[in-house]
Amino acid sequence: MFKTDNNGRSESEKPCAIEVNGVSKCFRIPHEKRVTVYDNIIGKITGKSYTYEVFEALNDVTFSVKEGETFGIIGENGSGKSTILKIISKVFVADTGSVKVKGKIAPFLELGVGFQPELTAVENVYLYGAIMGMNRAEMDAKLDSIFEFAELDRFRDTKLKNYSSGMYARLAFATAISVDPDVLLLDEVLAVGDQAFQAKCRYKINEYKRNGKTIVFVSHSIEAVKEICDNCLMLSNGNVVSIGPTENVISDYLNAVNKKEVERLLNQYENTKDAIEKDNVDPSINWGSKEAKIVDIKFFNNHSESYIFQTGQKFIARIKYKTNQRIEKPVFGVAIYKDNVHITGPNTKLCKMDIDFIDGEGEIDFIVDKLPLLDGPYKFSAAIYDDSCQHPYDHQHCAHGFEIKNLSAKNYGLFDIQGQWLSK
Ligand SMILES: Nc1ncnc2c1ncn2[C@@H]1O[C@H](COP(=O)(O)OP(=O)(O)OP(=O)(O)O)[C@@H](O)[C@H]1O
């Protein structure tokens, strides 16, 4: 079945609301800071001119957004998301390339661009309305609903410089939606305010979607992007690295984030491992008589080595060991911690797995078919003890770690206990 809009047009027939073509933008970052008039005069007298570093915030960015589409922009901090929104809304001018926007555009940008801190909230609302081409009578009619939506009625006459960043953002969002734009630019709107305000914003955004308005939505919340956006763009260091249906772009984004996270976790473990080998580690991390040593710990999912898992996924911890003599009846144990809370600590003896002896090099796996842990970073300990579990040969406490990252939250807390609801 073909998806059509309110005018019966299919996706491909819809005209573009925004066309961004080959946009690049550089910023000049001064090497020295001249704050006072004195600094500047001295600079002139000594003939020292400013030296700058040129920083490329956007490089040849091209994309288009169809009328009625909700388009997400994602990427790590500093990747250029806000800069491209500011160029679309004409707050910044691109160095090269072009931007075409069809219809009335309303930016809700970080800290409400155009707002003046020295003016009161009401004065700022009139100012925003004037910038958006609305006359005073039109804004008079909207004033109550703006302050009601922003939940700031008591603070109408407060100067904006005395607003908290949350109040500022609530006013900016309420004002931006009040001018009934054709194109709404939203930057991290769902990151401000409490849960109730965020739910109100979500409702409003969905109402805009239903009314066929075009939305460009910048957010760090992958869940919000997944819920709201039809298509997405991923930026990395000012470059477009992925563009297309939201699911695909989010998958590319998570892969990139995971890759970085894995590198960080492995680096951390390699450093600890190195320190343990050189016997140069905090005794609260590693202790034991060392006739048997843990030489490596690796984690695997169903298919491959991994350090980022999803709740319910297979989890294998592979412990590599080495002994310098025959060790009779060793006991291998592991433990998982979150925020210093000891979550679990199984060992081979408790699990009735008798190991007669170990001698030389070997590996042992601790396998969980469906890991029940919920989102967050976890620390992992591994140890080899004697049969009495009193004498440690090698105990590596929280030396390694892994993360659980679920795309959509299914539960709160530490565990997914797979409960069911029954209404009676
Ligand atoms: N006015 C400016 N002068 C100098 N550098 C700037 C300016 N505005 C942005 N930048 C730099 O450009 C880069 C991109 O910034 P931008 O705010 O677009 O990133 P972002 O993806 O929105 O980041 P975040 O997720 O942290 O909000 C950053 O390195 C930032 O420091």
> Is residue 112 predicted with pLDDT exceeding 60?
no
For residue 365, how many other CB atoms are within 10 A of its CB?
11
Whether the per-residue pLDDT at 222 is higher than 50: the answer is yes
Q: What value does the mean pLDDT take over residues 71-99?
A: 92
Ligand 1 atom nearest residue 58's Cα: 14
Q: How far is CA 112 from CA 7, 23, 44, 107, in A?
A: 33, 23, 36, 8
Instruction: Tell me if 365 is assigned to some domain.
Output: yes
Please tell me whether residues 246 and 294 are part of one structural domain.
no
Q: How far apart are CA 401 and CA 215, in angstroms?
A: 39
> Where is mean pLDDT largest: 4-8, 169-173, 309-313?
309-313
CA–centroid distance, residue 176 to ligand 1 (Å): 22
Residues with CB under 6 A from ligand 1: 27, 29, 55, 57, 75, 77-83
Q: Domains in the chain: how many in total?
A: 2
Between CA 74 and CA 245, with CA 198 as vertex, the angle to 5 degrees is 30
Check whether residue 71 and residue 196 sit in a common domain.
Answer: yes
pLDDT-derived band at 168 (thresholds 50, 70, 90) equals confident
Token output for 276 = 């343990």
Whether residue 66 is contained in a domain is answered as yes
Q: What is the mean pLDDT of residues 136-165?
A: 91
> Which residue's CA lies nearest to atom 20 of ligand 1?
78
Q: How far is the CA of 80 from the centre of ligand 1 (A)?
A: 6
Same domain for 287 and 249:
no
Q: Is residue 112 part of a domain?
A: yes
Distance of alpha carbon 219 from alpha carbon 165, whole angstroms: 17
Q: Which residue's CA lies nearest to atom 25 of ligand 1? A: 77
- Residue 235 Cα, ligand 1 centroid: separation in angstroms? 12
Do 30 and 179 fall within a single domain? yes
Say yes or no to pLDDT of 200 above 80.
Answer: yes
Distance between Cα 272 and ligand 1 center (Å): 35
Residues 240 and 291 in one domain: no
The enclosing H or E element of 101 equals: strand 96-101
Distance 79 CA to ligand 1 centre (A): 7
Q: How many Å lie between the centroid of ligand 1 and the Cα of residue 78?
A: 5
Domain assignment present for residue 106? The answer is: yes
Strand (E) positions, 284-388?
286-287, 292-300, 308-309, 315-323, 327-328, 331-338, 341-344, 357-358, 361-368, 376-385
Most confident of 252-256, 264-268, 342-346: 342-346
For residue 67, is pLDDT > 70?
yes
Structure confidence by residue, pLDDT tens digits, 288-308: 999 999 999 999 998 889 899
Among the residue ranges 8-22, 126-140, 142-156, the one predicted with the least confidence is 8-22
Percent of the chain with pLDDT over 70: 88
Regarding whether 327 and 236 lie in a shared domain, the answer is no
- pLDDT value, residue 1: 43
Over range 148-177, report the average pLDDT.
Answer: 89
* 126 Cα–ligand 1 center, Å: 29
Q: How far is the CA of 172 from the centre of ligand 1 (A)?
A: 20
272 assigned to some structural domain:
no
- Which residues have a Cβ under 8 Å from the Cβ of 8 and sit 6 or more positions away? none
pLDDT, tens digit, 9 for 90 and up, residues 26-51: 998 776 666 666 766 766 677 666 67
Q: Which of 205, 238, 254 is the last residue of a domain?
A: 254
Output the domain CATH number for residue 299: 2.70.50.60
Residue 244, domain member (yes or no): yes
Whether 337 has a pLDDT exceeding 90, the answer reads yes
Q: Whose CA is nearest to atom 11 of ligand 1?
A: 57
Summary mean pLDDT of the chain: 88
Residue 348 and residue 231 share a domain: no
The answer on 292 and 233 residing in a single domain is: no
Mean pLDDT computed over 405-417: 79
192 CA from centroid of ligand 1 (Å): 19
Could you tell me the distance, in angstroms and rounded to a whole number, from the CA of residue 57 to the centre of ligand 1?
Answer: 7
Identify which of 82, 85, 88, 217 to mutate to test ligand 1's pocket (most ligand atoms within 8 A of the CB): 82
Q: How far apart are CA 9 and CA 188, in angstroms?
A: 30
Separation of alpha carbons 378 and 28, rounded Å: 41
In a domain, 264, yes or no: no
- On whether residue 414 sits in a domain, the answer given is no
CA-nearest of 119, 125, 167, 124 to 143 is 125
CATH of the domain at 114: 3.40.50.300
Same-domain check for residues 194 and 299? no
pLDDT attached to residue 374: 94
Same domain for 232 and 344, yes or no, is no
Q: Which domain holds residue 303?
A: 282-404
Of the three residues 254, 271, 292, the one that is the final residue of a domain is 254
pLDDT at residue number 111: 42
Query: Do 237 and 352 have their domain in common?
Result: no
Q: Could you tell which of 81, 84, 91, 189 is best to mutate to test the pocket of ligand 1, judged by most ligand atoms within 8 Å of the CB?
A: 81
- Return the residue whose CA atom lies nearest to atom 31 of ligand 1: 78
Q: Are residues 220 and 293 in the same domain?
A: no
Nearest CA to ligand 1 atom 12: 57
